Amino acid sequence: MSIFSEVPQAPPVAVFKLTADFREDSHPQKVNLGVGAYRTDECQPWVLPVVKKVERLIVEDSSLNHEYLPILGLPEFRSASSKVALGDDSPAIKENRVGAVQALGGTGALRIGGEFLRRWYNGTNNTATPIYVSAPTWENHNAVFADAGFKDIRPYHYWDGAKKGLDISGLLDDLEKAPEASVFVLHACAHNPTGTDPTQDEWKQIAEVMKRRNLFVFFDSAYQGFASGSLDKDAWAIRYFVSEGFELFVAQSFSKNFGLYNERVGNLTVVAKDNENLTRILSQMEKIVRTTWSNPPSQGARIVSKTLNCPELFAEWYVGNVKTMADRVLLMRDQLKAKLQALGTPGTWDHITQQIGMFSFTGLNPKQVEYMIKEKHVYLMASGRINMCGLTSKNIDYVAQSIHDTVTSVQ
């Protein structure tokens, strides 16, 4: 009798199952608009040229070894990453009240932050603190906070399906009604999966309510630079909240903007009231990290650190490579909208160019999505989310036509 005989088969993670199904499909015109990774116009993964350069430098540097990093990670990486989020001239950094934990991707940063909040926020070990995530949100947010021990994870209004935009009044209403001290997970830019971000005015309104109602700000920043092509623009919301005096967390990912997906490069930036609080916070972060992974992997952090801390490499990354990716996505957005309008596809398609970042919430319903996959061999998430990076000059006509056929055949 096995002790594991009762272990049930768990359902596959949807986004990875989609790619698996895509791989098995033999249709010559199949298109994968599922998983969120950048693709070139040849639909190939892209290792950033600056990353290739820096990796070579690392391999050739015989003074480097594979020793353990400190528990909180590579110091030069942590400080440079926080600077990217908060700005070179950030007053909070000057005031020595910004710290960071190098983490395994954005996921790892969220998890460490979540574990910390569950132990030390709003009392000690208060698993009842409500955690609010947007409706919809990245599908892993729920599990991260649930596994961190929180019992009450709730949606806040975000996507308005009717107007295909942000439900700002619903969002503000949820902020007004949330219990004091509730945690809100905010997408800093390029909201996943909708691609719909608050305007600066809307961010100001959100901040005002959150301050008044004593709500905690946890930013998820996975696309800085990738969204608009500008690091500053994409970090505007984070910096605004910091300037308004909030103590907050930012879970940063360098998976997309550095194309370092599989090296798991992330950073949890902590903005505290003062250095004394920060010191105690970081000491407890160490304890959490020590029982999760002891210390983080060094390769990816070295690459990012070298790049961010060297002006020429920084420029090559930012002005060169990041801009290339952001521009291609913007081009695909323009072209997809134009083609749908030219085809006379029913509905409005402005949201495609109004939305930002890797993803677009097309507005296709589950039946339409199923049709797209089964009949057109165009793979997208059941939510109607498409990865713009999966579009190329070679497949965009087919995709536009497929959307047109789907919308006119299936209600």
Partner 1 sequence: NTLLQLLYSWWGGVQMGPPDPILGVSEAFKKDSNPKKMNLGVGAYRDDQGKPFVLSCVRKAEALISAKQMDKEYLGITGLADFNKSCAKLALGADSEVLKSGRNITVQTISGTGSLRIGANFLSRFHGGPRDVYLPKPSWGNHTPIFKDAGMTLKAYRYYDPATCGFDHSGALEDISKIPEQSVIMLHACAHNPTGVDPRPEQWKEISDLVKKRNLLVFFDMAYQGFASGDIDKDAWAVRYFIEQGHNIVLSQSFAKNMGLYGERVGGFTVVCNDAEEAKRVESQLKILIRPIYSNPPMNGARIASTILNTPELYSVWLGEVHGMANRIIKMREQLEAGLKKEGSTRDWQHVIDQIGMFCFTGLKPEQVERLTKEFSVYMTKDGRISMAGVTSGNVGYLAAGIHAVTK
Restricted to residues 139-178, the positions that interact with partner 1 (CB under 8 A) are 140, 143-144, 146-148
Do residues 18 and 377 lie in contact, with contact meaning Cβ atoms separated by under 8 Å? no
Residue 256 bears catalytic tag: yes
- Spatial distance between the Cα atoms of 314 and 153, rounded to a whole number of angstroms: 39
Amino acid in the structure at residue 6: E
- Using CB under 8 A, count the residues that bind partner 1: 84
Site residues for partner 1, 103-132, by CB under 8 A, read 103-105, 107-108, 111, 120-124
Q: Is 301 left (phi over 0), alpha (psi -120 to 50) or beta?
A: alpha
47 binds partner 1 (CB under 8 A): yes
Given 264, 339, 351, 385, the residue binding partner 1 (CB under 8 A) = 264
Torsion sign across C-alpha atoms 267, 10, 187, 216? negative
Burial of 410 (0-12, 13-18, 19+ CB in 10 A): middle
Alpha carbons within 13 A on the beta-carbon side of 112: 37
37 binds partner 1 (CB under 8 A): yes
55 binds partner 1 (CB under 8 A): yes
Write down the least CB distance from residue 185 to partner 1, Å.
Answer: 13
Q: Which is nearer to partner 1, 3 or 162 (CB)?
A: 3
Binding to partner 1 by CB under 8 A, coded x per residue (else -) over 288-327, reads x-xxxxxxxxxxx---------------------------
Binding to partner 1 by CB under 8 A, coded x per residue (else -) over 216-255, reads x----------------------------x-x-------x
| Angle ∠(199,202,203) on CA atoms, nearest 5 | 85
70 binds partner 1 (CB under 8 A): yes
Write down the least CB distance from residue 349 to partner 1, Å.
Answer: 30
Residue 349 bears catalytic tag: no
99 binds partner 1 (CB under 8 A): no
Write down the least CB distance from residue 160 to partner 1, Å.
Answer: 28
14 binds partner 1 (CB under 8 A): no
| The token pair that represents 108 in the structure block | 């790892």
Given 14, 17, 27, 45, the residue binding partner 1 (CB under 8 A) = 45
Candidate list 164, 220, 317, 337, residue with the active-site label: 220
Candidate list 256, 337, 339, 376, residue with the active-site label: 256
280 binds partner 1 (CB under 8 A): yes
Give, rounded to a whole angstrom, the gap between the first and last alpha carbons of the chain.
51
Q: Which residues of 86-99 are buried (b: 16+ CB within 10 A; e: fewer)?
A: bbeebebbeeebbb
354 binds partner 1 (CB under 8 A): no
Residue 46 bears catalytic tag: no
Q: Which is nearer to partner 1, 33 or 340 (CB)?
A: 33
Do residues 130 and 179 lie in contact, with contact meaning Cβ atoms separated by under 8 Å? yes
**Among the candidate windows 59-67, 327-335, 355-363, 392-400, which touches partner 1 by CB under 8 A?**
59-67
Which helix or strand (DSSP H or E) is residue 174 part of? helix 168-177
Q: Which is nearer to partner 1, 36 or 357 (CB)?
A: 36
User: Which 3 state secondary structure label does DSSP give 307?
Assistant: helix
| Count of residues making up the chain | 411
- Spatial distance between the Cα atoms of 214 and 131, rounded to a whole number of angstroms: 14
User: Token pair 């990012």 is at which residue?
Assistant: 304
Question: What are the catalytic residues?
Answer: 138, 220, 256
